Structure 1
């Protein structure tokens, strides 16, 4: 993996979280492969449509998401973030994101604790 690929993928990851805060499904839809899957303790390999239905409420639930760690290796990124709700509450999660080319093929969320 080149530094240029890492930089591009890091930009994609940051853009994903920014689009989530802004409720911009249109931006994220272009980032995902057609066979994209999402998994969490509540979701087991759901497809794109279910991901947008279940995970993208209107209005967006968070005021902001602060990326605290972003690591890239081969076709995978690992992100630890702090999500701040509109009421001021916050929590941390870790996600792994798998790339296929320049698009996201899978996201797996590991729930953290209140922060």
Structure 2
């Protein structure tokens, strides 16, 4: 699996609600951060972030920038009530697993 395939699989897990597969894509020492969650462990990530899969129906990758061990994406997410929002995420990959995710978002005026 290429790094790009790994990230596409990550988003697909949210679309189809496949927690087991998502867990298999993440490194044991996985870390997640966002403006509201400065540093979450893998366990905290699943407790706090995974429930969103029930609302996320589709992810459309608008921008995909890849380096040897990192990928930056900008995507549009569609939710179950047809709302859309845009986020940017930076993924660090190690040994074919997602090691870290940093999410960037803000509010629009």
TM-score normalized by the length of structure 2: 0.92
From 61, 76, 82, the equivalent of 2:76 is 82
The 2-side partners of 1:10 and 1:52 are apart by 22
2:60 paired with 1:70: no
Work out the number of aligned pairs and report it.
Answer: 108
Contact 1:93–1:113, Cα closer than 8 Å, also in 2:
no
Task: Tell me the equivalent position of 2:95.
Answer: 101
> Which aligned runs of 4 or more in structure 1 are off by greater than 6 angstroms?
none
Query: Per-residue deviation at 1:112?
Result: 4.6
From 52, 55, 59, the equivalent of 2:46 is 52
Alpha carbons of structure 1 residues 93 and 59: separation in structure 2 relative to 1, 3 Å: closer
SS of equivalent to 1:87: coil
| Deviation larger for 10-19 or 53-62 | 53-62
5+ residue gaps, structure 2, are: none
